[in-house]
Chains A and B, each alone.
Chain A
């Protein structure tokens, strides 16, 4: 059998030697080697098929991986498109503002000249605002910010601050508190107010670092985990939060009163209200006021003590801005 090693350019003598170098064996050995050759052929075919299969499988996996990666990157790009550089930095500013204003020492009531008066306050509160309420003791610890932000939601205080009841009667306050609890249509007036939690939780998923993780993922499993996190994250709320201009911070001081605690946990205590500009870091309003549900009727107190207190507090804030010391 001629060999592929022989070329037409070879002399006959050389060709014969090449042939002999490749196949120079005796007959009996030839028969044995035929079986061996057949085995080798099968082995070769098996190996080739396996290799091709493995290569195909790996290529498919790689294509799937790249497809998923592209999908995730597109999603991230799409979601993050409205964000400016300042928006991306907002979570840092919020963290800093909370840390600053949740200091245990209270530095006194004050309000900027622009907010002096109820109408001016209402006008300011119409701006995109981040709202965070929590215990002063907890928020003074930066490590607990995420946890407390997650449990903070828009409540009767926000509703009444933006859309106060007409009177300070128990009934009027109770209606507002009830509406806030029910997240009813009247909460629509607070649509421009966002929670801090989405900002802290989901904004990092739209950052460049997260994009790097998607690009660096080497397996489908790791990409799927990233996809799961992206799907679960409140990305739209995070983007809205990132557009806020000011932070409305309500800090509940620890109660020192000896009176009873209501069913919803409400009891007499002092509350600090802070309104800070997030772009400049300027304090626009700082006000401290006591709340006490003891004046409420039993039925109202049992159900809405905290809500009514919050709503009343909001009304007090609106009223107080006209008389608070002006911050120059």
Chain B
């Protein structure tokens, strides 16, 4: 079975629909335009089995935005348009098989440590983009010379195959699969035919000319010394035979032209390389995965931040994240403040307390994206990380009031809890923002306690933010729920959040500080009322007589 240049999975597989893609490519070659061949194939490509369900976290973590803005490659100053939907699918469904993650990590590590390999990968990607452009003709510009376009496609395909064979020779990670693929194809008959056809197109014949130049530099004449044809090239035919071939093609229903001969030969060559050409579609998606990760690392590095390939440890081992930062802030153009995070045990429930706008929700986003990136085999937004393998991710960070919601705020809260338990798998990462904030504190605390008590049976890695400070304090004192940990937002001397997290429960949510910062003190509100009264004095209701 021929090799598949799959660098996303430890066991190579053809994930795109081969027959459909081949048909689409054949049409693209014939018609001169087939917008979306690559997108369509990648969008429907299968991915490795995953226990993650994107609906449980993707929207909450703004994953689509992170993929679009964070996983971007920059090659020679250009930012090629990547297939964000494919990247989103791969990232939102991390493989269940750790071997795949390890396979990807090795590739990424090799690309990180070997600039030569990265350059080779970028060159191949640039060629793939050229191939995509030639096949899809996205600008819709009319192609005047179809044969020239097809030959250009073949030329780029050859460059790609050569780039794979030469650029990754000696690779140690899964990248060696590219070299093996390239070498195997280069040794095949269809590649030889491709090479011969391109040689025939480039120089079917060579003419040695001697040019006579006069005293004033003008060309006074020339003399043909020799004319050599590539007699050993299988595509070179004598003139009379070419003429007969044209006649034959005409009789067979084709046009009577040299171009028609070339078109038939190009078809014959392409037919032999259909599988390889289709493989390039899948390879484009694979390359974007790694180039996106490298682009993310470059962007972090430019902002003075570090990323790493995390270490996976047992759930009972402590969690360690050094200089963890929020990647969503980074891709939004804000330099995030990194923080260190440690906990005694990965499989634990951590209650995060602290002032409003202290970075609690940002911390949950960071943890969620870190887990996703780690289990996808990519860099995580931290200088170093020790993480546990999770079976899934459930995030509940945004609770917007919707016009069509059936229940009030408490009802929605309870439905949210119910849904959480419906989908929660043992050992999953759970991220909950301000659980039970929609009802009065005493009743909310009861539900809260119920939730974390019951949830502990599934041994999740849970992070829950709350403003029930007294309740959190009581739990910390009581220690009745196993593996319960507490983190609080650190404050500086002026009681402002430092966006760092320390053990313990916060003493206050500093709502007054936040209110003052946002202009919601008694004095500030009174001033606003007085200002409004000056502009519009109190009058009766509309229509009331004075």
Complex partner residue of A7 from B190, B237, B248, B272, CB under 8 angstroms:
B237
Assembled-state Cα–Cα distance A7/B272 (Å) = 17
Interface string of A14-46 (1 = CB under 8 A from B): 100110111100000000010011001100100
B267–A21 touching, CB < 8 Å:
yes
Assembled-state Cα–Cα distance A21/B268 (Å) = 6
B493 within 8 A of A: no
A9–B253 touching, CB < 8 Å:
no
A18–B232 touching, CB < 8 Å:
no
Name, among A3, A5, A23, A36, the residue most crowded by chain B CB atoms within 10 Å (CB to CB). A5
B228 within 8 A of A: no
A contact residues around B235 at 8 Å (CB): 7, 10
Assembled-state Cα–Cα distance A33/B234 (Å) = 29
Assembled-state Cα–Cα distance A140/B45 (Å) = 103
Pairs across A and B, CB under 8 Å, 7 listed = A5-B245, A7-B237, A9-B233, A14-B268, A14-B269, A21-B271, A40-B250
Closest residue to A48 on the B side, CB-wise? B247
B252 within 8 A of A: yes
Complex partner residue of B252 from A11, A17, A33, CB under 8 angstroms:
A33
B241–A13 touching, CB < 8 Å:
no
A295 within 8 A of B: no
B contact residues around A41 at 8 Å (CB): 251
B189 within 8 A of A: yes
Q: Please provide the 10 A-B residue pairs with the shortest distance between their CB atoms, ordered closest to farther.
A: A4-B245, A9-B234, A21-B267, A17-B268, A18-B268, A10-B234, A21-B268, A21-B264, A4-B244, A14-B193
A11–B261 touching, CB < 8 Å:
no
Interface string of B178-205 (1 = CB under 8 A from A): 0000000000011011000000000000
Assembled-state Cα–Cα distance A22/B252 (Å) = 8
Assembled-state Cα–Cα distance A13/B233 (Å) = 15
A contact residues around B232 at 8 Å (CB): 9
A29 to chain B, nearest CB (A): 10
B contact residues around A18 at 8 Å (CB): 264-265, 268
B249 within 8 A of A: yes
Assembled-state Cα–Cα distance A13/B189 (Å) = 8
A36–B265 touching, CB < 8 Å:
no
A5–B264 touching, CB < 8 Å:
yes
B contact residues around A17 at 8 Å (CB): 193, 267-269, 271-272
Complex partner residue of B271 from A10, A11, A20, A37, CB under 8 angstroms:
A20
With A9-B232, A11-B234, A22-B252 known, 7 other A-B pairs at CB within 8 A are A5-B265, A13-B190, A13-B272, A14-B193, A14-B269, A18-B264, A44-B247
A5–B237 touching, CB < 8 Å:
yes
B contact residues around A7 at 8 Å (CB): 234-237, 241
A contact residues around B241 at 8 Å (CB): 4, 7
Assembled-state Cα–Cα distance A41/B269 (Å) = 29
A37–B264 touching, CB < 8 Å:
no
A217 to chain B, nearest CB (A): 33
Chain B positions within 8 Å of A, measured between CB atoms, are 189-190, 192-193, 232-237, 241-242, 244-245, 247-253, 256, 261, 264-265, 267-269, 271-272
Closest residue to A22 on the B side, CB-wise? B264
Closest residue to A11 on the B side, CB-wise? B189
B246 to chain A, nearest CB (A): 9
Closest residue to A8 on the B side, CB-wise? B234
B251–A40 touching, CB < 8 Å:
yes
Q: How many A-B residue pairs have CB under 8 A?
A: 74
Closest residue to B231 on the A side, CB-wise? A9
B193–A11 touching, CB < 8 Å:
yes
A15 to chain B, nearest CB (A): 9
Assembled-state Cα–Cα distance A18/B268 (Å) = 5
A33–B272 touching, CB < 8 Å:
no
A contact residues around B247 at 8 Å (CB): 44
A25 to chain B, nearest CB (A): 9
A184 to chain B, nearest CB (A): 69
B contact residues around A33 at 8 Å (CB): 252-253
CB-CB under 8 A for A22 and B272, given A9-B232, A9-B234, A14-B234: no
Closest residue to A5 on the B side, CB-wise? B245
A contact residues around B249 at 8 Å (CB): 22
Assembled-state Cα–Cα distance A9/B233 (Å) = 7
Assembled-state Cα–Cα distance A180/B322 (Å) = 136
B contact residues around A11 at 8 Å (CB): 189, 192-193, 234
CB-CB under 8 A for A14 and B264, given A4-B237, A5-B237, A9-B233: no
Assembled-state Cα–Cα distance A4/B261 (Å) = 10
Assembled-state Cα–Cα distance A18/B265 (Å) = 6
Closest residue to A12 on the B side, CB-wise? B189
B contact residues around A23 at 8 Å (CB): 252
Closest residue to A23 on the B side, CB-wise? B252
Assembled-state Cα–Cα distance A37/B254 (Å) = 10
Assembled-state Cα–Cα distance A7/B200 (Å) = 14
A190 to chain B, nearest CB (A): 62
B contact residues around A21 at 8 Å (CB): 264-265, 267-268, 271
A contact residues around B268 at 8 Å (CB): 14, 17-18, 20-21
Assembled-state Cα–Cα distance A7/B271 (Å) = 18
B216 to chain A, nearest CB (A): 33
Assembled-state Cα–Cα distance A4/B232 (Å) = 17
A contact residues around B242 at 8 Å (CB): 4
Interface string of A32-75 (1 = CB under 8 A from B): 01001100110010000000000000000000000000000000
B contact residues around A20 at 8 Å (CB): 268, 271
A21 to chain B, nearest CB (A): 4
Assembled-state Cα–Cα distance A14/B200 (Å) = 15
B253–A36 touching, CB < 8 Å:
yes
- Beta-carbon contacts under 8 Å, A190-207 to B: none
Closest residue to B249 on the A side, CB-wise? A22
Assembled-state Cα–Cα distance A3/B272 (Å) = 18
CB-CB under 8 A for A3 and B251, given A21-B264, A21-B268: no
Assembled-state Cα–Cα distance A24/B508 (Å) = 81
Name, among A14, A37, A41, the residue most crowded by chain B CB atoms within 10 Å (CB to CB). A14
CB-CB under 8 A for A37 and B252, given A10-B234, A13-B272: yes
B contact residues around A13 at 8 Å (CB): 189-190, 272
Complex partner residue of A37 from B193, B233, B253, B272, CB under 8 angstroms:
B253
Name, among B232, B241, B245, B268, the residue most crowded by chain A CB atoms within 10 Å (CB to CB). B268
Name, among A4, A21, A23, A40, the residue most crowded by chain B CB atoms within 10 Å (CB to CB). A4
B contact residues around A36 at 8 Å (CB): 253
A205 to chain B, nearest CB (A): 41
A contact residues around B190 at 8 Å (CB): 13-14
Closest residue to A18 on the B side, CB-wise? B268
Assembled-state Cα–Cα distance A207/B242 (Å) = 53
Closest residue to A9 on the B side, CB-wise? B234
B156 to chain A, nearest CB (A): 20
